[in-house]
Amino acid sequence: MKRKIVKFICVCLSLVCLIGILPACGNSDTDAIKLSFKSALQFDYLKSIDGKTVTINGYMATSSPVDGSFIFLMNMPYQSCPFCIPNTSQLSNTMEVYPKKNKKFEYTTQAIKIVGTLVVANSQKESDLFKDEYGYKFAFKIVDATYSVLSQNELDGNVALWQEISSSGIINEIDKMYNYVNFLCSWNTYFINSYKNENGEIVPGYFLYASDAKNYIEKDGAQWNYGYRDGYFDGIVNKIREIDDTELEDLVANVRNAEALANKALNELNSGNYTYEYQYVEKFDNYDYIYTLNKGEELSEEFSLTYMEFSNWLGNWEM
């Protein structure tokens, strides 16, 4: 049986449009607090307005549930799947919005204005996060909400460039890039899950060895080999500059920062800068070698900072 790495990833849901569902009516946003995707990254700020009426502009992801029970709201059009923080099920730059009681959302591809009540988790601890039926976790949601379609004069002046960026698919490529960089920075936290062999016997899972990590990177067609190939980061930069050769240099700089971090982490792996210890692994009820990266904490911190830089860039595009 083929072994597969278990990791939390955002999986695209159905792309079927909603049919026969009553459209949501517009709400008055006279007293609503204007929320932005960038400000939503600041948990302390969210806690300060917990329970308040908020308004925010965005687009429905096409993978929003077909029954209209809630939507994935993003600040970019043409996006099918919610963004997650790499190697987690935690939503990133995506909000879950729930309609009023006994109401459903009708799907639209147009830019919309949401008005609803902000509800924030008690803390950012894993155990306190909200969790939806698909397994996504998030620190806040907007409930009791309605939406109205935005008119052209309500849209930001940069909307044309933003739509060009979104339709190009480059954001998806950068999201994929960050999954590669995350693997390099924390490969020892990835694991092969337990499975049954051809005799029906359970083969215990295990956390990756250094040799496994190298295979997943260097072997042609392996899961993260795409990022290891020559010219990978240059290709992303070239695609960004094809969209606009002057206005997106901050995004280019972020990709270059990610490239530098990837090279640093790869050098740590190739130089053998890690230790390992034979110990009991509760997750798999088995004894095995567990690897620790000498600069694991440093790499994880640098990854978080670089990815947050990208999230902030993404969140700056408001309509």
Residues 101 and 237 in one domain: no
Domain end: 119, 154, 189, which one?
154
Mean pLDDT of 173-198: 95
Residues 148 and 86 in one domain: yes
Q: Rounded to 10 degrees, what is the CA torsion of 125, 7, 11, 312?
A: 50
Residues 226 and 192 in one domain: yes
- Angle value at C-alpha 122, between 48 and 126, nearest 5 degrees: 130
Domain end: 154, 181, 214, which one?
154
**114 bridge partner residues:** 56, 147
Domain end: 154, 187, 207, which one?
154
Q: What is the pLDDT of residues 216-245, one digit of tens each?
A: 999 999 999 999 999 999 999 999 999 999
**Amino acid residing at 186:** S
Report the number of distinct structural domains present in the chain.
Answer: 2
Q: Identify the domain containing residue 265 by its residue range.
A: 160-315
Q: How many H-runs (helices) and E-runs (strands) does the chain carry?
A: 8, 15
- Listed range (13-27, 61-75, 232-246, 303-317) with the worst mean pLDDT: 13-27
Q: What is the pLDDT of residues 30-46, one digit of tens each?
A: 789 999 988 998 999 99
**For the domain that residue 58 is a member of, what is the CATH number?**
2.40.50
Residues 124 and 221 in one domain: no
Residues 19 and 138 in one domain: yes
Residues 80 and 100 in one domain: yes
Residues 307 and 206 in one domain: yes
What's the chain's average pLDDT?
Answer: 88
**How far is it, in rounded angstroms, from Cα 210 to Cα 190?**
11
Residues 62 and 172 in one domain: no
Residues 174 and 289 in one domain: yes
Contact 57, 74 (CB under 8 A): no
Angstrom distances, CA of residue 111 to CA of 28, 37, 114, 194, 319:
17, 14, 10, 44, 8
Q: What is the pLDDT of residue 28?
A: 55
Residues 306 and 172 in one domain: yes
End-to-end alpha-carbon separation of the chain, Å?
Answer: 49
Residues 143 and 171 in one domain: no
Of 13, 51, 19, 57, nearest to 35 by C-alpha is 57
SS3 170: helix
Residues 95 and 195 in one domain: no
